[in-house]
Structure 1
Amino acid sequence: MKTILLGLIFFMATPQTLTDFPLVKSATGKVVRLSVPPPDGNQILPRPIDVWLPPGYGQDTSAHYPVLYMHDGQNLFDSALSFIGVDWGVDEWMTRLINEGKIRPAIVVGIWNSPERVADYMPEKPVKTLNRSILSELFKRFTDLNKSDDYLKYLVFTLKPEIDRQFRTMPDAPNTIIMGSSMGGLISLYAMCEYPAVFGSAGCVSTHWPAADGLVLGYLKTNLPNPGYNRWYFDFGTETLDKDYEPFQVRADTIMQQAGYQPGKDWITLKFEGADHSERSWNKRLDNPLLFLLGR
């Protein structure tokens, strides 16, 4: 049980009202702060939503854009707000790759995490298959692990329609991508398995497979969408938490192969020697998922 959900309370936003959260300062493009509260009956906490618009968005009003939804939104654009003082550099990487003609211009939606990050990001259906003794221990440690279905419902039925209403998006699944790291990788996987007609691609960076002792792998095997429509990016490093991921990722890769996914076409897994489990490492290699998921 020591491996279950180890280290997964990283990067949590502290409890505040939405007006108390500082605004993001991006190096490139423009960030718009939205308040999109969850509907009545949805258990997740309200949180800031930061929408990054690529350079040139306001110039050509006929242009429409793919949308990349990313978890842990406070860690994406501004080092002053990020967990360890280093952000992903999403705005810089996006602008650089767009200017080089390597990726399509896209809107990025940064969804901040909450003090209930584990409950929001731990795939709910696999957890419910655990026996009662393990569930009891988990609930003692984390209070509630039954919010990820509500989190996804919020993304699909509340947030995405609002983004599509306010901005010039390409709302179909091939142009709707979801991505995150660690537990954010798990919830991205869960999102595309649960809503494959909404999310056409998923980026799972340093996926925290050991959560619940790899239980999500069994879920993936039975719920993986059929190949030919969805695209998957996986990666992992070899240091700190990431050093435990390779055996799980090998099993995930086997599941992908057996399902008929084609490496390099609709699925890719990359290993980064010496990379640890941090925003610094994810920043260094962010071009890889962006090129695979948004490449021209």
Structure 2
Amino acid sequence: MKPKFLLLSFILGFALSSAIAYFAWTHQPSSLQATTAASNVHIDTSMTMAKLLRERRLRIYFPPGYENSNQHYPVLYMHDGQNLFDAASAYAGEWGIDETLNSLALTHGLKLIVVGIDNGGDKRMTELNPFDHERFGASEADAYLDFIVEQVKPWVDQNYRSLSGREHTAIMGSSMGGLISHYAAIRHADVFSKAGIFSPAYWTAPAFTDFLIAHPVKQSQRLFLLMGEAEGGSMMADFEAMKVTLEAVRSSQPEITSLAISVAHAQHNELFWRSQFAPAALWLFTPPTVNAQTGEPVPAAL
């Protein structure tokens, strides 16, 4: 073999092995990362989804002082549980729900139980889409929400000191999780009085607006809608269209209070959602002050 060929083979081999080593170093599996979950987060149990026959892990956050009190607490149900508390299980960074709520408990007295439901991996797009989709498949959203409402919530209310009434129960998520949270607030208005709708993927559910109009909610409800102005695609346009729709139905559904916020330069990622969780939680769970002139609620201030 000629020396030049040997040298070229060595260089190519070294480059390839270096690239593989670099990729392995920068894309380590989550299991190799140290946990970042606070001590008051518990990966409590796995439950079988009765209508879908799939196992789903629950990750539960308890507010500071839970173990040493008899107090009962509001409950926030959240999707994509892997991404909420722990970088070791997160797909692309965690929300830091535990750190944020631990801080808000001290600064604002806001204390919640948070129940994170892990997503189903390749089933996420069907479980979290309320409607059939030509590309993603038949919707399994009703069965997924029935799992939360008929199995998870009763189990939480039976085993933990929760405030079980709808006025103390919220649901929240981002992207497809934002979409299913908005849908849940309509389909299960008797269960959820609050919804955090972060970067909702309305583009996957063109029938959603018609569904919203056809199913008016006649109970008090608070909706916090959030979008980053740099999320791409039709995300921002769909968000603006939803704001118009919510305003249009306000006259027939005065019990619904919605706050829709867009953030300049914000992109579709956990870093953005993490930054907005505190104001969303405060607005949803803290009784708002009211503008004396307009009668409109004023968002809670940090």
Identify the TM-score tier after normalising by the shorter chain.
0.7 to 0.9
Q: CA distance change for structure 1 residues 146 and 24 in 2, over 3 Å: closer, same or farther?
A: farther
Alignment of 1:217 with 2:209, yes or no, is: yes
Q: How does 1:1-296 map onto structure 2 within 5 Å?
A: 25-27=36-38, 29-39=40-50, 42-43=51-52, 45-60=54-69, 62-84=70-92, 86-101=93-108, 104-114=110-120, 115-124=122-131, 127=132, 138=134, 141-142=135-136, 144-212=137-205, 214-226=206-218, 229-241=220-232, 244-260=234-250, 266-296=257-287
After TM superposition, the score normalised by the length of structure 2 is 0.78
Q: CA distance change for structure 1 residues 223 and 23 in 2, over 3 Å: closer, same or farther?
A: farther
**Alignment partners' CA distance in 2, 1:216 and 1:270:** 20
Tell me how large the CA RMSD over aligned residues is: 2.3
Structure 2: stretches of 5+ with no match in the other structure: 1-30, 288-302
- The answer to whether the 8 A contact 1:29-1:95 is kept is no
Which structure has the larger Rg over C-alpha atoms? Answer: 2
After TM superposition, the score normalised by the length of structure 1 is 0.79
Q: How many aligned residue pairs are there? A: 253
1:245 deviates by 2.1
Amino acid at match of 1:222: A
Deviations 1:145-176 (A, max 9, x none): 23111001111111110011110000010101
**Alignment partners' CA distance in 2, 1:220 and 1:69:** 21
Amino acid at match of 1:35: S
Deviations 1:36-93 (A, max 9, x none): 2122xx0252111011111100011x20000000000000001121111x10010011
1:208 deviates by 0.9
Amino acid at match of 2:42: V
- The answer to whether the 8 A contact 2:35-2:87 is kept is no
Amino acid at match of 1:76: L
Task: Report percent identity of matched pairs.
Answer: 30
Amino acid at match of 1:184: G
Name which structure has the greater RCO, CA cutoff 8 Å, separation 6+.
1
Q: CA distance change for structure 1 residues 80 and 23 in 2, over 3 Å: closer, same or farther?
A: closer
**Alignment partners' CA distance in 1, 2:231 and 2:236:** 12
Deviations 1:86-130 (A, max 9, x none): 1001001111111102x5311000000012001100013xx3xxx
**Alignment partners' CA distance in 1, 2:243 and 2:129:** 20
- The answer to whether the 8 A contact 1:34-1:51 is kept is no
1:295 deviates by 2.0
1:251 deviates by 2.1
**Alignment partners' CA distance in 2, 1:27 and 1:237:** 28
SS in 2 for 1:81: coil
